[in-house]
Every structure is written in C-alpha cells, then in structure tokens.
Amino acid sequence: MTDTSAHRFEQTARRTVEGLPEPFRRHAREVALLVADWPAEDMLAELGLADAHELTGLYEGTPMTEKSVWDSPMQPDTVWLFRRPILAEWRDRGNVGLDELIAHVVIHEFAHHFGWSDDDIAAIDPWWE
C-alpha cells in the first residue's frame, strides 16, 4: 500500500526544494512549507473556487519580484500543499507517480514565489492541459 501521509508529502516537498539549483534553493528555504488535507474556505473564496478539489497548492506571500527592502512582512511567505486534492488528481490521472505529482505542485507554487504568473508557467509547462 502506498504511503499517502502528510509526512510523506512534506518529505517529498522538502526534497524537491533541496533539489533546486542555487540561488533558488537558498530563497526557497526561507518559505514556510505547509501540508493540509484541504484548502480553507477563505482561500477558495478568495480565488473564486467552489470545489476544493480544484486547488492542489497555493503560494501566499509577496513574489520576490515585488519585494522591497523597505517591506515589513506581516507573515512569512508560505507554500501550501493540499493533500486530498493532490491524491484525487493522482488517482484520476493514473499515469504519474505520487512523488512526481507532489514535486510538480511544489515547483509550480515556488514559481509564483519567484515571480512567475500562471500564464508564464503554462507557457513552458503543459502539465494540466
């Protein structure tokens, strides 16, 4: 039986961050990495999503391209991974490993931290097409 625990998700996500090239790895290590079963209702509402299955991950914070040395952050930048939506996508796809999917969501959310939009990411990564 496959381990689908939050611990596995966190370990896979941290290995993914450690696999990033410098200087990305150094900056990514400064971001909080959290695993939750589901996104919070306010997250879904803010994004205009009705179905929690539509959100596998989320970056909360100010992208590096918009930060200033004068900024006083109210909370740390955070990458969220939502375990149950990721597991549902993994089962639905049936053609990708769980660790590969987790890593893909991690990279997608950290791309937002580094200043990429969803359109920028989609231009080079057709994963969800």
Q: Is the pLDDT of residue 126 over 70?
A: no
pTM (predicted TM-score): 0.89
Residues 6+ apart with CB under 8 A from 111: 120, 121
Q: pLDDT higher for 127 or 5?
A: 5
Choosing among 3.40.720.10, 3.30.2010.20, 3.40.1190.20, 3.60.110.10, the CATH entry for 6-124 is: 3.30.2010.20
Res 67: pLDDT: 76
- In this predicted model, what pLDDT tens digit does every residue of 14-70 receive, in sequence order? 999 999 999 889 999 999 999 999 999 999 999 999 999 999 999 998 888 877 666
- In this predicted model, what pLDDT tens digit does every residue of 80-97 receive, in sequence order? 999 999 999 999 999 999
Per-residue confidence band for 115, with pLDDT thresholds at 50, 70 and 90? confident
